[in-house]
Amino acid sequence: MPTVPLLTATAEALVNKLLALDPDSTQGLKRLQGKRLVVNLTDINQRVALAISEQVDVLALQELPEGDEHTCVVTTRLAVLPKLKEASQLTQLIKAGELEVSGELAIAQQFSSVINSLNIDWEEQLAQYTGDVVANQVFSIARSVGQQLKRFGDKSSLIVGSALTDEKQLAAHKLAVLHFSDEVSRLRDDAERLESRLSRLESKQS
Amino acid sequence: MQEQQSSPSATDQTESGAEQSTHFGFRQVERSKKASLVAGVFDSVAAKYDMMNDLMSMGVHRLWKRYTIDCSGIKPGQKVLDLAGGTGDLAAKFSRLVGPTGHVVLADINHSMLSVGRDKLRDKGVVGNVDYVQANAEALPFPDNHFDLVTMAFGLRNVTDKDKALASIFRVLKPGGRLLVLEFSKPTNDMLSKTYDWYSFNILPTMGQIVANDKESYQYLAESIRMHPDQDTLKGMFENAGFERCDYHNLTGGIVALHRGYKF
């Protein structure tokens, strides 16, 4: 079975479904109609294009197009992709050599902005299938369970931390670690001072 | 059946009576009658064509077509001819990719298929940059050097004179344009080949009988696939027609192959 077309088909269905769930996203997408964002992943030798019309078509290109006013080509590695979520980080990544952009950078920034500003009312989505009452109850229970799990997680980490540092003394206490770091810094400073004194003495002798 | 399967030629003509006969599945028929026989098959299956494609390939035909689009290199503003475009799977996507400044022509020799395709695309809201033309691939009614891309998905094997069709496509392509032919081909693995044969000659016609109430058309489908030139023969036919940088890519073990050629 052709794996890459299967992956792009899944990604395409997912992106379009998510965009459809937020009616406000269509406005942002309209500004991008006729534009293409091409992501060239050098480490896995894949070129994925997001061609924007009234929907987003995801293509696994065989040839890398040139960037122009309608096409933004972003060349990067797979590991850098999550960092592209922040449009403000793009310039920093370009300076760091993690990202190369040819063509219209605004296409990448606008698309990133459309995805980041997605605001999906999941409760409303569920209500279409189950009705308002059931959806509200499900989300109330989920929120309550989530809060309880968070409280339980916080409490557990406190208990485990205290048992490891105070009772069993298997790990150092946070304050002890800070104190140790300070001591190491002081020792490094002392050693550097001694080294400079020694070199001064050596230069005097010679 | 074995004898007939082993003799697909570069052209559709038989050794004896080369000018008069061609194959229609495993049968030999008069060349002038093949088009109407193929038309009969597609008139019969047009209404349930999409559903049968999904059933027979278990949905994988959509991935083969996606791969074809991935290889198209199509850009906004370009002109595409989707030959034997049937129910418009490729044309719908090309319409979005070329945008309002581009142009897609969905062409099919069969009126029933063209009607189903046109209705389907219009229902999906694909309008504005798509035209529908009933055309024979052997004598395309378009100017020379007109299209940036010509695609033909699962259509070439039904054409009576494939060499003539390739020459006609070459004529309408712009210099720098490319032809993509997605077509059933020869599996590269013996085990897969045997399983595929069994599936084609036992399951497909039965499926056609149950779903479309038409066993013969799906028997023809299986036979026409066996009579279609293999990967290297078709590549040679591309080169004979004048295409350059010709290559092919096997999909699903060679059950299907995508052939590509450029006009320079």
Nearest CA of chain B to the CA of A102: how many Å? 17
Inform me whether the C-beta atom of residue A15 falls under 8 Å from chain B C-beta atoms.
no
B63 → closest Cβ in A6, A51, A57: A6
A5 → closest Cβ in B70, B75, B96: B70
User: What average pLDDT does the segment A144-172 reach?
Assistant: 87
C-beta atoms of B69 and A51 within 8 A: no
C-beta atoms of A57 and B93 within 8 A: yes
Give chain B positions within 8 Å (CB) of A2.
Answer: 60, 63-64, 66-67, 251-252
Nearest CA of chain B to the CA of A128: how many Å? 23
Interface predicted TM-score (ipTM): 0.77
Distance between CA atoms of residues A173 and B49, nearest Å: 71
| pLDDT, averaged across chain B | 84
pTM of the model: 0.76
pLDDT tens figures, B53-105 = 788 888 899 999 999 999 999 989 999 999 988 878 899 999 999 998 999 99
Q: Which DSSP letter does residue A120 get?
A: -
- Burial, B257: exposed, middle or buried (Cβ in 10 Å; 0-12, 13-18, 19+)? buried
C-beta atoms of B60 and A65 within 8 A: no
pLDDT surpasses 90 at B171 = yes
Spatial CA neighbour of B22 closest among B164, B214, B204, B136: B164
A9 → closest Cβ in B66, B71, B75: B66
Give the per-residue pLDDT at B59.
85
Percent of chain B with pLDDT over 70: 88
Among residues 79-138 of chain A, which lie with CB inside 8 Å of chain B?
none
Give the per-residue pLDDT at A130.
85
For residue B23, the cross-strand partners are: B28
Give chain A positions within 8 Å (CB) of B71.
Answer: 62
Give the per-residue pLDDT at B1.
31
C-beta atoms of B63 and A65 within 8 A: no
Inform me whether the C-beta atom of residue B124 falls under 8 Å from chain A C-beta atoms.
no
3-state secondary structure of B79: strand
Nearest CA in chain B to A12: B66
* Greatest CA separation for chain B: 51
Return all residues near B15 (Cβ < 8 A) that are at least 6 apart.
Answer: none
In this structure, is the dihedral angle defined by the CA atoms of residues B126, A10, B83 and B75, taken in order, positive or negative?
positive
C-beta atoms of B66 and A8 within 8 A: yes
C-beta atoms of A5 and B63 within 8 A: yes
B256-262, strands of its sheet edge to edge: B130-134, B103-108, B79-83, B147-153, B173-184, B256-262, B244-251
Instruction: Calculate helix-pair angle for B31-45, B215-227, nearest 10 degrees.
Output: 130
Instruction: Calculate helix-pair angle for B60-70, A3-21, nearest 10 degrees.
Output: 90
Distance between CA atoms of residues A41 and A100, nearest Å: 11
Query: Which amino acid would we find at residue B21?
Result: S
Nearest CA in chain A to B97: A51
pLDDT tens figures, A49-103 = 999 988 899 999 988 888 787 889 989 888 888 887 776 777 788 888 888 888 8
- Find how far residue A166's CA is from the centre of its chain: 36
Give chain A positions within 8 Å (CB) of B69.
Answer: 59
Inform me whether the C-beta atom of residue B128 falls under 8 Å from chain A C-beta atoms.
no
Distance between CA atoms of residues B139 and A191, nearest Å: 89
- Find how far residue B44's CA is from the centre of its chain: 17
Inform me whether the C-beta atom of residue B57 falls under 8 Å from chain A C-beta atoms.
no
pLDDT tens figures, B12-42 = 444 444 557 777 777 777 777 777 777 767 6
Q: How far is CA A48 from CA A7, A63, A100, A185, B62, in A?
A: 11, 10, 15, 48, 18
Inform me whether the C-beta atom of residue B192 falls under 8 Å from chain A C-beta atoms.
no
Inform me whether the C-beta atom of residue B76 falls under 8 Å from chain A C-beta atoms.
yes
Least confident of A94-98, A183-187, B48-52, B129-133: B48-52
Give chain A positions within 8 Å (CB) of B61.
Answer: none
- For strands B79-83 and B147-153, give the pairing: parallel
Give chain B positions within 8 Å (CB) of A62.
Answer: 70-71, 73
Q: How far is CA B118 from CA A57, B77, B85, B100, B134, in A?
A: 21, 22, 10, 18, 11
C-beta atoms of A5 and B67 within 8 A: yes
Judge whether A127 and A135 are in contact, CB under 8 Å. Answer: yes
C-beta atoms of A5 and B100 within 8 A: no
Inform me whether the C-beta atom of residue A66 falls under 8 Å from chain B C-beta atoms.
no
- Burial, B261: exposed, middle or buried (Cβ in 10 Å; 0-12, 13-18, 19+)? buried
User: What average pLDDT does the segment B234-255 reach?
Assistant: 94
For residue A167, give both structure tokens.
Answer: 């009772």
Judge whether B128 and B159 are in contact, CB under 8 Å. Answer: no
pLDDT tens figures, A117-140 = 887 778 888 888 888 888 888 888
B96 → closest Cβ in A5, A57, A62: A57
